[in-house]
Amino acid sequence: MSDLAEYARRLHESERRVYPRRLTPLRLGCAVDTLKGVRAVIVDVYGTMVNYWRPGFEERDSREALLVEAFSGVVDRFGMGETLAAMNPAEPPAKTLFGFYHGLLALNRQKSAGEGTAQPEVRVEEVWSVIALMLKRNGYDADVHAPWRGDPADFARCLAYTYNFLSMGRELYPGAANALKRLKDSNMALGILSDAQFYTPVDLTLMLRDQSDGKVVDYGELFDTDLTFLSCEYGFVKPGEVLYRRLFDALYEYRITPEQTVVVGNDLMTDIAPAVALGMRTALFCGDDAMVFGRDGQGDGDCVLPDMVFYEWEELPDRLLFHGETG
C-alpha cells in the first residue's frame, strides 16, 4: 500500500465523512426494460456510483463558507497558520489559502483557454504543489509542521486529498458494490469514464471495501485499467470528445463493439449524449433526483433519451444481459 493510500485509509476510518439524506427517485420513461448482448459496462463516478454531497452546497454563500471551513482544516492540520498570516496579515489564514487555491485554478484555466483547449481539466495536485512551494519560500517547513511522513514528492497529493476529504461527503449509493461485482462475475468488462482526480481511485477502493464487507479489496479488481478514463489524466472534462474517443479505441482493442457497450451515468448532456453519438447504449441512474442533470431545459441534453433508466443499483445486473444470454 502506498503512503498516500495508507494516509487516506486512516482518515477514512477515523473521520468518515457521510451526510445522510433521503434519496428520492426521478421517474422517467425509457425505451427498454432490459439491454441484451452486453459485453462492457462503462460507469461514471460522481452522482452515479458515488453520492458526493454535503448540506449547504446548494447555495453559493453557504458553499463558500463550507469551503473556507475545509481550508481552515487544512491550515490547522498542517500547521500553516503562522506562515499564511505573515504572507497576508489582512485576511485569516483559511481565506488566504482559499484565495491562493481558486486564483491558481483560474490562472490554469485561462492558460488552457488561451491555448485553445475546450473543456480543460486541472490536476489539483499541481495546484497544491505551487501552494506548497509558495509556503516553503515564506519559511514553512513541512517536516516540522505536517503530519505527513511519507514520500516528500507526495506531499502536494496529501494536501489535495485532505482538502477534498474535508470539503465533501462521499459514499457509494446503496447496492453499488454488489451490483458491480455481479456484473464482473457475469464476464462483463467494467470500466470508468468520469471527471475525476488522482484521489478518485483511492476513495473508490475504500468505499468498495466498506460496502462489500471486504469482498472487494481494490477497485482494480472490478474495473479494467485499459477501460478506465479519468479526466485528470487527459486534461479534458466531459462532454468533450477526447475521453469518449479514447474509450472507443480501447473497446476496439478488446474487440467489443459500441453496440455491445453500455455507458452508465447521471447526466444526459455529459454521459448519455456523447455515448449515443458513438453508437453506444446507455443507462441513466435516476435513483437520486438531486443528481440527475441535463433535463428540464438545463441544456441540449434534454433532447437525448437513454436506452434504459434504473433507480437502484441492485436492479442493474438483472437488466443488463451478457452477450449470448437470452434472458
Of 58-72, 177-191, 247-261, give the lowest mean pLDDT range: 58-72
* Reported confidence tier of residue 295, pLDDT bands at 50, 70, 90: low
Whether residues 246 and 295 fall in one domain: yes
pLDDT of 278 strictly over 60: yes
Whether residues 279 and 149 fall in one domain: no
Q: Is residue 8 part of a domain?
A: no
Q: Is residue 12 part of a domain?
A: no
Q: Is residue 10 part of a domain?
A: no
Show the cell assigned to 34: 432490459
Task: In whole angstroms, give the CA distance from residue 311 to residue 318.
Answer: 13
Whether residues 209 and 315 fall in one domain: yes
What pLDDT shows up at residue 251? 97
Q: What is the mean pLDDT of the chain?
A: 92
* Reported confidence tier of residue 323, pLDDT bands at 50, 70, 90: low
Q: In 98-232, which ranges are E strands? A: 169-172, 189-194, 228-230
Q: 163: part of which helix (H) or strand (E)? A: helix 155-167
Query: Any idea what the CATH number is for the domain that residue 286 is in?
Result: 3.40.50.1000
| Domain span holding position 116 | 60-167
Q: How many domains does the chain divide into? A: 2
Whether residues 184 and 276 fall in one domain: yes
Apex CA 91: angle with CA 87 and CA 95, to 5°? Answer: 95
Whether residues 178 and 208 fall in one domain: yes
Whether residues 30 and 140 fall in one domain: no
Whether residues 194 and 308 fall in one domain: yes
Q: Is residue 15 part of a domain?
A: no
Whether residues 31 and 64 fall in one domain: no
pLDDT of 27 strictly over 60: yes
Q: Which of 138, 167, 196 is the last residue of a domain?
A: 167
Whether residues 212 and 259 fall in one domain: yes
Q: Which of 139, 167, 195 is the last residue of a domain?
A: 167
Whether residues 156 and 176 fall in one domain: no
Q: At what angle are helices 199-211 and 176-185 packed, to 10 degrees?
A: 90
Q: Is residue 17 part of a domain?
A: no
Q: Which of 102, 133, 167 is the last residue of a domain?
A: 167
Q: Is residue 16 part of a domain?
A: no
- The burial class, CB within 10 Å (0-12 / 13-18 / 19+), for 82 is middle
* Reported confidence tier of residue 147, pLDDT bands at 50, 70, 90: confident
Whether residues 33 and 175 fall in one domain: yes
Q: Is residue 208 part of a domain?
A: yes
Whether residues 104 and 211 fall in one domain: no
pLDDT of 84 strictly over 90: yes
Query: If DSSP codes are grouped into helix, strand and coil, which group holds residue 82?
Result: helix
Q: Is residue 20 part of a domain?
A: no
